[in-house]
Amino acid sequence: MLNNYKYFIALAEEKSISHAADKLYISHQCLSKYLKNLEQEYNVAFFERTPKLTLTPAGHAMLDTLRQVQFLEQNLDNQLEDIRLSKKGRIRVGTTEGRYRVLIPELISEFKALYPEVLLDVEYAVSKELTDRVLKNELDLVLINQDGVDHHQLISKPLLNEQLYLVISDNMLAQYFPDNYPACKEQFAKGVDLAMFQKVPFILNRKTFNSRIALENYAQARNLQLNCVMELTQLDIHFMMSARDYAASICWTMYLPSIAEMNQLHPEHHLNVFPIAGLDARNQFSLVTLKEKILPDYGKNFIRLVQRKCASFADLNPSTI
């Protein structure tokens, strides 16, 4: 059973002998013979064969077992690698698109300086896809919001407890609060009342994202109607549009350094960041792995880099941006 277990996993994932054979770089005949012999050995069918390969109940049991074998083998490899004191290897990391742009470039640079021979393989996707890939042992760890973690085989470590902020340019403040600008900035720094911003246009994330959910819940509880003129998932574009006086936006704590950098590069398009009065919702950003996952030393040190980076976000005072 344990010989060539990756063949079975590929068949289950690709749902086709031809596609799985291509993925494994072996012949169709070789893979077909492997499956035939395996089913003869156990005297049970692991796949329904029409129109695509579909796992039978026995196939699901076999797949779950072989994924555990793969997981244990990788844990053993990691432990032996540390015993050999090797600094070569690979760590597979996932995060969401917005976090990728903020977190990953600097982490890659710092990690490369520590481990030039280790491949840091990072990709982005939506949280559900990332957790599914951790469960399949296709990723070693993912950096996502805690509310995306809902499986008993996953464990999470808190990295950053985030607050939601309003982002708006000087020009838009002057336009919508002409009688109280710039004095209003000092008032808003203590916490904005969004009831005063109902005529201000907003560019927001889609309604399925947690920042939008938190904002909608806040507005609904206070019978407010915010003027959303555009929905985009790319938060860096939110801030670019806010700097161009197109609309106000909102952001979690992690994005404050990006706004500070924009202000330094283009002070003529200065963006203000204000806390939102009465909005108590917080977002827990976390590191997620499989239970009992053993990482080599370079993986543990990568986690330390992530923890240090996230701690730096918490230390930034929005009033200094």
DSSP states along 161-208 = EE-EEEEEEHHHHHHH-GGGTTTHHHHHTT-B-GGGGTTSEEEE--TT
For the domain spanning 86-161+283-316, the CATH number is: 3.40.190.10
Phi-psi region of 85 (alpha: psi -120 to 50; beta: other; left: phi over 0): left
pLDDT, residue 102, reads 92
Report how far apart, in Å, the C-alpha atoms of 310 and of each of 127, 162, 304 are.
18, 10, 10
**Pair 305, 143: CB distance under 8 Å:** no
For the domain spanning 5-78, the CATH number is: 1.10.10.10
Residue position matching structure tokens 């985009």: 232
pLDDT, residue 184, reads 96
- Percent of the chain residues past pLDDT 90, beyond the cut: 76
The whole-chain average pLDDT of the chain stands at 92
Q: Check if 5-78 and 86-161+283-316 are the same fold.
A: no
237-290 residue pLDDT tens: 999 999 999 999 999 999 999 999 999 999 999 999 999 999 999 999 999 999
pLDDT, residue 83, reads 59
Topology of the domain comprising 164-275: D-Maltodextrin-Binding Protein; domain 2 (3.40.190)
CA pair distance 69, 47, nearest whole angstrom: 20
147-163 residue pLDDT tens: 878 889 999 999 999 99
pLDDT, residue 57, reads 92
CA pair distance 100, 124, nearest whole angstrom: 7
pLDDT, residue 86, reads 59
Amino acid identity, position 52: K
176-217 residue pLDDT tens: 999 999 999 999 999 999 999 999 999 999 999 999 999 999
CA pair distance 135, 154, nearest whole angstrom: 8
Amino acid identity, position 303: I
Six-digit token pair at 118?
């280790």
Strand, coil or helix: 209 = coil
Residue position matching structure tokens 């907003």: 202
Parse the chain into domains and list their residue ranges. 5-78, 86-161+283-316, 164-275
